[in-house]
Amino acid sequence: MSDLTLAVDIGGTKFAAGLVEPDGQVVAAERVATPQGADAETLWGTLTALLDRLDVPAALAGVGIGCGGPMTWPEGEVSPLNMGGWRGFPLRARLAARFPGVPVRIHNDAICLAVAEHWRGAGRGSAAMLGMVVSTGVGGGLILGGRLIDGGTGNAGHIGHVVVDPEGPPCGCGGNGCLEAIARGPGLAAWALAQGWSPGDAVTEGDLYRDAPGALYREEGTATARRLAADAAAGDPIALAAMARAGRALGIAIASAVNLCDLDLVTVGGGLSQAGDLLFRPLEEALREHTRMGFAGRVRVVPAALGQDAGLVGAAALVIAGGNYWSPGL
Amino acid sequence: MSDLTLAVDIGGTKFAAGLVEPDGQVVAAERVATPQGADAETLWGTLTALLDRLDVPAALAGVGIGCGGPMTWPEGEVSPLNMGGWRGFPLRARLAARFPGVPVRIHNDAICLAVAEHWRGAGRGSAAMLGMVVSTGVGGGLILGGRLIDGGTGNAGHIGHVVVDPEGPPCGCGGNGCLEAIARGPGLAAWALAQGWSPGDAVTEGDLYRDAPGALYREEGTATARRLAADAAAGDPIALAAMARAGRALGIAIASAVNLCDLDLVTVGGGLSQAGDLLFRPLEEALREHTRMGFAGRVRVVPAALGQDAGLVGAAALVIAGGNYWSPGL
């Protein structure tokens, strides 16, 4: 049996697949744009063609999959929000049939990114961490007691739906005032436009998607949010106010998570996180206002450390480091 | 070796101690009022005199302790908020010296109540639960994957300091807009008084403390909150508005916890929880508004099932069911 793990990362913008060594090194990776508007079997055919481009060994240690939610879990019947062709598609079972005799494991893409940061990124050694992605959506994964927390249905980590303002704007989830409704890139850009922001040209379309892993987190709207960040960096007052608004919302939601879960570390990745101090300074300010208990003051918020392979690394960790990141018996 | 566990429950109002069988039955219990304004050794003397009143067998399975926070954990040097005589008092070490050779374990009193509900109360069988106490304070404990979550420092479960309104009132923790600032009994009563509420006589002082276990959660102010609940039941419009305000704040904080931790169950105990539908109806309404994702809709919020022995049962569980409720090696 080979000691390589096949990792698959399924998003609305691209599919990625790679071979990962036991230490987390990605030794081969291939990517392809997600066919837009494709039906279930076309999407599956795109994935298998991608796998055929990898030199997959005859025997594998296993297969790890990250995929945009929602999904049934651990069964892995996926219905990614931005991929209408898959509704209840048995992705885990189909890959298990293709690679028989080895563990095939799946989790939400945002959870895989948190696992990657804990296993091989900025969260190494943390006993109590939240790994976040802030981009078109706001998602995450919780690691407590050094182990991935699944919650009852594999959905723990939805930091984007912590309520930060009960009078806040409607959210895609059907609620209102969620962190995601305020801090997601498109929401932020929409707020700035409503305040009279006129987007500059500091960011080109070519920057789109480049550094923001995670299916839900690299969709349309990211470019606009980057333009907003660039304009804020250039001193545009409305753009600055928008970044401060997102930062404060993030700080409040993180404070609630820290107080509830006694976290020592929060990693923040995704496109918007690259705004740097423009985002992190108001984030820190709001966080410290709302974490006054002694234990909570120790928390550190740091940028995610891994780049575009993070999704593959986290998916592989479900197999390679399953003792910490894979709790189901199956 | 006996199969009995000695359980100790230390609060600002009373000390309790009991002998607990392996199945969680409390077979003997003694209580004494906490000496007010006492120094460290007077408090310790009160506790040892209480233990002397129990027929403690020569050999025990162990000693479990619940104590009001804060404390260093798992070392168990306690500084209960309402007990000025103990500041960094080595309660765990002192009891370990008195009962050598057996496990002596300690946790926050609110966490012990959550553990009790999970082990022998309304939370039995839940894989992902939050056990709450709503009274003079608002506290709790988190059980995920069927195990007590400590967080990095034993402080996980502080649901009272989830932010429900960033523009909300100041909180005792130093922040503002925390659930506890709005929903704790005294805060609620103060709000009603400020709105012009004139307390009725439906609740007598004799009801004070009777049914609200947990040290932080049975202090001054509970009687006023009960009077408020009674007046609400009698139709007083300000009292009704106050209960609705607390219920909605609870629902919002619980929704954030459910979305973040993928909970299937929340138990609510403590004095204020006895207001019944007056509290639980607005709670449910706000909760359902803010838990719209598919997985979150399954959560149930139920009253705590255990009575005044709950603190002893939870403390004993740290020893008897330590595999689920005690993670430190020590």
A90: enclosing H helix or E strand = strand A89-90
- Measured CA to CA, the distance from residue B83 to residue B194 in angstroms comes to 29
pLDDT confidence band for A200 (50 / 70 / 90) = confident
DSSP state of A103: -
Task: Locate the chain A residue with the closest alpha carbon to B179.
Answer: A256
What is the rounded average pLDDT of the residues B15-44? 97
Contact B81, B108 (CB under 8 A): no
A187 and A50 in a single domain? The answer is: no
Residue A256: which of B163, B173, B174 has the nearest Cβ? B163
What residues contact B47, with CB distance under 8 A and at least 6 apart?
Answer: B8, B10, B15, B17
Identify the residue whose tokens are 């390589």: A4
CA angle A107, A109, A115 (to 5 degrees): 75
Contact B153 A262 (CB under 8 A): yes
How far apart, in whole angstroms, are the C-alpha atoms of residue B262 and residue A295? 24
- For residue A163, give the nearest of B152, B176, B255 by CB distance: B255
- Is residue B250, in this structure, part of any structural domain at all? yes
Residue of A75, A118, A155 to mutate, testing the B interface (most B Cβ within 10 Å of its Cβ):
A155
How does the average pLDDT of chain A come out, rounded? 91
pLDDT band at B227 (very low <50, low <70, confident <90, very high): confident
Mean pLDDT for B214-226 is 52
Same domain? For A44 and A158 the reply is: no
**Does residue A226 lie within any of the structural domains?**
yes
Q: Residues 86-115, chain B: which have Cβ within 8 Å of A? A: none
| A128, A248, A286: residue with CB nearest B151 | A128
Q: Is a pLDDT exceeding 70 seen at residue A272?
A: yes
- Distance between A68 CA and the closest CA of chain B, angstroms: 15
All residues of chain A having their beta carbon less than 8 Å from the beta carbon of residue B260 are: 142, 156-159, 161-162, 256-257, 260-261
Q: Do B163 and A290 touch (CB under 8 A)?
A: yes
Mutate to test the interface with B, among A132, A162, A285 (most CBs of B within 10 A): A162
B139 pLDDT more than 60: yes
Q: Do residue B151 and residue A263 have CB atoms under 8 angstroms apart?
A: yes
Smallest CA-to-CA distance from B242 within B298, B186, B287 is with B186
Q: Are residues A146 and A102 in the same domain?
A: no
The pLDDT tens digits for A170-184 are 999 999 999 999 999
Confidence at B329, pLDDT banded by 50, 70, 90: confident
CATH number for the domain spanning B75: value is 3.30.420.40
Residues B87 and B162 placed together within one structural domain of the fold: no
Residues A287 and A194 in one domain: yes
pLDDT tens string B154-185: 999 999 999 999 999 999 999 999 999 999 98
Report chain A residues whose CB lies below 8 A from the CB of B157. Answer: 260, 262
- Decide if A144 touches B, using CB distance below 8 A: yes
Please answer yes or no on whether A257 and B260 come within 8 Å at the CB atom: yes
Q: Within a domain: residue A310?
A: no
Nearest 5°: the CA angle B114, B110, A301 is 95
A234: closest CA of chain B, how far (Å): 29
Does residue A206 sit at the B interface (CB-CB below 8 Å)?
Answer: no
Out of B173, B264, B294, name the one closest to residue A293 (CB): B173
- Residues A129 and A47 both lie in one domain: no
Task: Look up residue B249 and give its two tokens.
Answer: 């704040």
A246 within some domain: yes
With an 8 Å Cβ cutoff, are B165 and A166 in contact? yes
Smallest CA–CA distance, residue B263 to chain A, in Å, is: 6
In this complex, do B174 and A292 lie within 8 Å of one another by their Cβ atoms?
yes
Are A84 and A148 found together in one domain?
no
Q: Could you say which residues from 259 to 298 on chain B have a Cβ atom under 8 Å away from some Cβ of chain A?
A: 259-264, 286, 289-296, 298
Residues A262, B70: C-beta atoms closer than 8 Å:
no
Q: Which residue of B has its CA nearest to A131?
A: B260
- Tell me, what's the pLDDT at B110? 96
Q: Would you tell me which residues 225-254 of chain A have a C-beta closer than 8 angstroms to some C-beta of chain B?
A: 248, 252
Distance (Å, whole) CA A152 – CA B259:
11
Report yes or no on B91 lying in a domain. Answer: yes
Flag whether A275 is in a domain: yes
- Whether A83 and A137 share a structural domain: no
Please, which pLDDT band fits residue B133 given cuts at 50, 70 and 90?
Answer: very high
The structural domain count of chain A equals 2
B152 vs A128: CB contact, 8 Å cut-off? yes
DSSP state letters, A190-243: HHHHHTT----SSS-GGGTTTT--SGGGSSTTHHHHHHHHHHHHTT-HHHHHHH
Nearest to B156 among A152, A156, A262 (CB): A262
Question: Who wins on pLDDT, B152 or A106?
Answer: A106
B329 touches chain A (CB under 8 A): no
Instruction: Give this complex's ipTM.
Output: 0.93
Identify whether residues B48 and B171 lie together within a single domain. no
pLDDT of residue A225: 79
On whether both B69 and B40 belong to a single domain, the answer is yes
Considering only CB atoms, which chain A residues are within 8 Å of B144?
Answer: 144, 149-151, 156
**pLDDT score at A203:** 45
Q: Report DSSP letters for B131-161, one per residue.
A: EEEESSSEEEEEEETTEE---TTS-TT-GGG
Which of B108, B133, B155 terminates a domain? The answer is B108
Say if the Cβ atoms of B175 and A144 lie within 8 Å.
Answer: no
> How high does pLDDT run on average in chain B?
91
| Reported confidence tier of residue A222, pLDDT bands at 50, 70, 90 | low
Distance from the first to the final alpha carbon of chain B? 21
Q: Where are the alpha helices (DSSP H) in chain B?
A: 40-53, 91-98, 109-120, 179-183, 185-194, 222-233, 237-261, 277-289, 310-320, 322-325
A203 within some domain: yes
Within-domain flag for A308:
no
Q: With DSSP H G I counted as helix, E B as strand and the rest as coil, what are the percentages for chain A, rounded to 5?
A: 40, 20, 40
Q: What pLDDT is attached to residue B152?
A: 84
Q: Are residues B159 and B290 in the same domain?
A: yes
Residue A323 C-alpha, separation from nearest chain B C-alpha, in angstroms: 14
Chain A: nearest CA to B26, how far in angstroms? 30
Amino acid, res. B268:
V
Taking an 8 Å cut-off on Cβ atoms, the answer to whether A260 and B257 are in contact is yes
**Domain co-membership, B212 together with B266:** yes
pLDDT of residue A161: 97
Is B177 close to A290, i.e. CB distance below 8 A?
yes
A122 pLDDT more than 50? yes
Q: How many CA atoms lie within 13 A of A165 on its CB side?
A: 18
**Domain assignment of residue B128, given as a range:** 122-303
